[in-house]
Amino acid sequence: MPFRGVDYMLVDSLFSEQELLVRQTAREFVDGEVVPVVKDCFREGRFPAHLIPKMGELGFYGANLEGYGCAGMSNVEYGLLMQELERGDSGLRSFCSVQGALCMYPIYTYGSDEQKDKWLPRMARGEAIGCFGLTEPGFGSNPAGMGTRAEKQGGEWVLNGEKTWITSGSAADVAIVWARAEEGIRGFLVEKGTPGFTASDIHGKLSMRASITSSLSLVNCRLPESAMLPGAKGLKGPLSCLTQARYGIGWGVVGAAMECYETAREYSITRKQFENRPIASHQLVQQKLAEMITEITKAQLLAMHAGRLKDTGKLDPAHVSMLKRNNCAMALDIARAARDLLGANGISEDYPVFRHMCNLETVKTYEGTDHIHALVIGERVTGIAAYK
């Protein structure tokens, strides 16, 4: 069944025809290509790699960047794209977020002309895959403490360190690795096959199973001078990439929530208990659905407003923290409520709810946990940083 959308408050009336067209294209792709395979992929712990070229053809990678074969979408169009992809699966949206916001964006914003020409057109087509290596075994929420080192030796950089929980790590043709040099934190383009650089997959995940997650190891990994991103100096380099990706997450999770809500709503109308009445006829069930659709509507409006601010250059990182934090918490709550309304079926892979619920546990944690974004908002409203 094609997805009909969830729009209680006529939010669609606030989108342009072009924005709705982008959403429709992504919606048809998800219905036709993702929904039929994602259950098996999640069970088997496999990323649907066969979809990579098709998403390139459709312009999904770096979609809100201009030139280099990118689609040049507005940020609202890009947000609607992320929403539809995550309705399919958070792993798929993560792949596109990492490719576009965490890899193409830093090359586009901080890279040399040579780096841009070499990577961006191929990445836009999905012929080259990227990953973003910031998190380390000892430094997650506090990347400022990172232990990975970049040392200048003659005309080369020598990298040593370890990154972990890296999306698309072992699939990537190029890793954006953040390392501490004498002058501060710098970003490096580390190509697959570089001696001293290896990626190994993390197994045993109960979340994001249709996504590749890896550890990266750098042992005396020698890179030419030209491998460094010349324009990224200090922690604000990686943090600015995370702001881009968090913006996409703020939209994406609304898609997962919409899918869970719609599944629960339909189920509650058809499932009968007590005198052959639909469970939707019970007041407690209706209250749950009312709360779910209210929270989804608020999240849709927040995402759309953030998109309009971003399109006019007014969205700042503290705004994005509110978007990411609120919408992730909302989506996880909706998934848990939907699982409850489906009773025993709520834990079955035959419904998308439990898969989304497991995935959303990751989405709440990565790209800044709920706590860290609360501290960003707290700092904005008090002027006092409370991270330490």
Ligand X SMILES: Cc1cc2nc3c(=O)[nH]c(=O)nc-3n(C[C@H](O)[C@H](O)[C@H](O)COP(=O)(O)OP(=O)(O)OC[C@H]3O[C@@H](n4cnc5c(N)ncnc54)[C@H](O)[C@@H]3O)c2cc1C
Q: Return the active site residues.
A: 367
Q: Between 23 and 324, name the residue whose CB sits nearer to ligand X.
A: 324
Per-residue x/- mask for ligand X, residues 173 to 212, rule CB under 6 A? -----------------------------------x----
Beta strands in the chain (DSSP E): 130-133, 149-153, 156-167, 174-181, 184-191, 197-201, 213-224, 272-273, 277-278
Shortest Å distance, C-beta 166 to ligand X? 5
Residue that is written with structure tokens 């974004």 in the block: 373
Per-residue x/- mask for ligand X, residues 113 to 142, rule CB under 6 A? -------------------xxxx----xx-
Shortest Å distance, C-beta 40 to ligand X? 19
Shortest Å distance, C-beta 94 to ligand X? 7
Per-residue x/- mask for ligand X, residues 38 to 77, rule CB under 6 A? ----------------------------------------
Using CA atoms in the order 24, 27, 31, 35, what is the torsion angle rounded to 10 degrees?
Answer: 170
Q: Between 8 and 387, name the residue whose CB sits nearer to ligand X.
A: 387
User: DSSP code of 234?
Assistant: S
Residue 68 has phi, psi (to 5 degrees) of 55, 25
Looking only at the bridges linking them, the beta strands covering 213-224 and 272-273 are unpaired
Is residue 371 close enough to count as binding ligand X by CB under 6 A? Answer: yes
Provide the residue type at 278 as one letter.
P
Judge residue 108's burial from the number of C-beta atoms within 10 Å of its C-beta, 0-12 exposed, 13-18 middle, 19 or more buried. Answer: buried
Beta strands in 202-332 (DSSP E): 213-224, 272-273, 277-278
Is residue 378 close enough to count as binding ligand X by CB under 6 A? Answer: no
List 235, 239, 372, 377, residue binding ligand X (CB under 6 A): 372
Provide the residue type at 138 as one letter.
G
Is residue 166 close enough to count as binding ligand X by CB under 6 A? Answer: yes
Region class of 131: left (phi > 0), else alpha (psi between -120 and 50), else beta: beta
Q: Tell me the number of residues near ligand X by CB under 6 A.
A: 21
Q: Between 190 and 304, name the residue whose CB sits nearer to ligand X.
A: 190
- The residues that bridge with 157 in the sheet, in sequence order, are 152, 223
Query: Segment 311-370, which members bind ligand X (CB under 6 A)?
Result: 362, 365-367, 369
Closest CA to 99 of 253, 279, 248, 210: 248
Per-residue x/- mask for ligand X, residues 6 to 45, rule CB under 6 A? ----------------------------------------
> Could you tell me the CA-to-CA distances from 250 to 22, 133, 196, 313, 320 in Å, in that order?
18, 21, 36, 17, 8
Q: Between 115 and 168, name the residue whose CB sits nearer to ligand X.
A: 168
List 22, 71, 98, 303, residue binding ligand X (CB under 6 A): 98
Closest CA to 271 of 282, 263, 283, 279: 279
Residue at shortest CB range from ligand X: 140
Residues engaged in binding ligand X (CB under 6 A): 98, 132-135, 140-141, 165-167, 208, 213, 362, 365-367, 369, 371-372, 375, 387
